[in-house]
């Protein structure tokens, strides 16, 4: 008596759940990539602060980049007169006040995110803080990394 | 004579190129998100937002000075070596300060006054110490003088 079951005509793997899963991951990473796109000037080497908190809400932030004087950026180099970088453009102090005040007019809850290079001197940062105060912004944030080696980059 | 072709028994869409493509995109986005190192926040507020209609609570305020060489002074006492970025002594003192202020039911406040040539890393070290001591009211001494 033959008890062996007959061979299945087509033994294919069902791909549908895998494709569902992959699509979900794809959409997640696409959205994550779009959300993390802020005005990140690559010249800025942020300082390390292990106790800093990774923010959950990145909305309503105006980004000001500050690099050490003489760093090439925005088609020139930063100088005493134009030490700030906004959206890749070199800006002087009155320009910074105007840019922040203009943005604050449309976004009253604006917070200013200062991405300051770890080797930048405080006198430039001081001017940026003063400009924020003149533009009516009192809520400021310094950008930092939690550690030297986490993630990619040098 | 019948010329019409017989319909295929299985008219399936070929999924393989689609899956190849989707995998490629998935890997690309995964790698590109890892390359961007995540940035973290250290926030502080500038003075001047106090509503004058409220009763003014006089906070317990301390000033931390940072010199050009990275020496950190609190009440004219030097804390930690200029090369020490963790600042354990300062953190310990700041925790004591916060506890004292809490016992007196006044907000603990720190004003950081760095010299002009202090590097940002040192300023952030001090801010980091304040965060470690859970002091939320941190501000900067920025005179209105044009230097």
Residue A151 is predicted with a pLDDT of 43
With a CB cutoff of 8 Å and minimum separation 6, the contacts of B122 are B66, B70, B72, B82, B114
All residues of chain A having their beta carbon less than 8 Å from the beta carbon of residue B43 are 111, 139-142
Confidence band of B147 (pLDDT split at 50, 70, 90) = very low
B42 contacts A141? CB cut-off 8 A: yes
CA-based nearest distance B104→chain A, Å: 26
pLDDT at residue A110 greater than cutoff 60: yes
pLDDT (0 to 100) of residue A77:
81
Chain B interface, best mutation among A41, A44, A47, by max B CB count within 10 A: A47
Question: Cα–Cα distances in Å, from B110 out to B44, B141, B143, B145?
Answer: 10, 10, 16, 21
Architecture of domain A61-142: 2-Layer Sandwich (3.30)
Which range of A145-154, B4-13, B30-39, B52-61 scores highest in mean pLDDT? It is B30-39
What ipTM goes with this model? Answer: 0.70
Could B144 and A153 be called an inter-chain contact, meaning their C-beta atoms sit closer than 8 Å? no
Q: State what percent of residues in chain A have pLDDT above 90.
A: 3
What domains sit in chain B, N to C, each tagged with a CATH number?
60-140 (3.30.420)
Q: Across the interface, do A118 and B121 touch by the CB < 8 Å criterion?
A: yes
Euclidean distance between CA atoms A58 and A76, whole angstroms: 29
- Per-residue pLDDT, A154: 40
Residue A93 reports pLDDT greater than 50: yes
Residue A146, chain B, CB below 8 Å: the answer is: yes
In chain A, % of residues over pLDDT 70: 85
| Tokens encoding A138 | 């009192």
pLDDT tens-digit readout, A30-66: 877 766 556 677 778 888 988 888 887 777 888 888 9
**B111 vs A contacts (CB less than 8 Å):** none
Contact (CB<8Å) B124/A144 = yes
**How confident is the prediction for chain A on average, in pLDDT?**
81
- State the average pLDDT over residues B29-36: 75
CA distances from A23 to A108, B17, B103 (A): 38, 14, 55
Interface contact A140-B45, CB threshold 8 A: yes
Contact: B49, A140; criterion CB under 8 Å: no
Rg (CA), chain B: 30
User: In chain A, what are the domain boundaries?
Assistant: 61-142
What is chain B's mean pLDDT, rounded?
A: 80
């Amino acid at each position: 008596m033959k008890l062996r079951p007959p061979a299945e005509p087509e033994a294919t793997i069902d791909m549908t759940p895998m494709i569902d899963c992959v699509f979900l991951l794809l959409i997640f990473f696409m959205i994550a990539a779009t959300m993390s796109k802020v005005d990140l000037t690559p010249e800025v080497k942020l300082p390390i602060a292990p106790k800093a908190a990774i923010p959950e809400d990145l909305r309503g932030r105006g980004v000001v980049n500050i690099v050490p004087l003489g760093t090439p950026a925005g088609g020139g180099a930063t100088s005493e007169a134009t030490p700030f970088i906004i959206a890749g453009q070199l800006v002087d102090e009155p320009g910074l006040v105007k840019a922040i005040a203009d943005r604050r007019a449309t976004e009253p809850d604006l917070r200013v995110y200062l991405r300051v290079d770890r080797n930048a001197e405080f006198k430039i940062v001081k001017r940026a803080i003063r400009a924020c105060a003149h533009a009516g912004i009192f809520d400021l944030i310094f950008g930092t990394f939690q550690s030297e080696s986490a993630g990619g980059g040098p | 004579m019948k010329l019409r072709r017989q319909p295929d028994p299985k008219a399936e869409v070929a999924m393989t190129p689609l899956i190849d493509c989707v995998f490629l995109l998935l890997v690309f986005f995964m790698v590109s998100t890892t390359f961007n190192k995540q940035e973290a926040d250290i926030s502080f507020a500038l003075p001047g937002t106090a509503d004058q209609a409220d009763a003014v609570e006089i906070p317990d305020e301390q000033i931390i000075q940072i010199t050009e060489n990275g020496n950190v002074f609190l009440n004219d006492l030097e804390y930690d070596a200029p090369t020490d970025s963790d600042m354990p002594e300062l953190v310990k003192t700041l925790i004591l300060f916060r506890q004292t202020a809490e016992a007196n039911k006044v907000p603990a406040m720190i004003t950081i006054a760095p010299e002009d040539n202090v590097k940002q890393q040192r300023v952030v070290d001090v801010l980091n110490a304040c965060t470690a001591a859970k002091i939320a009211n941190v501000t900067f001494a920025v005179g209105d003088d044009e230097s």
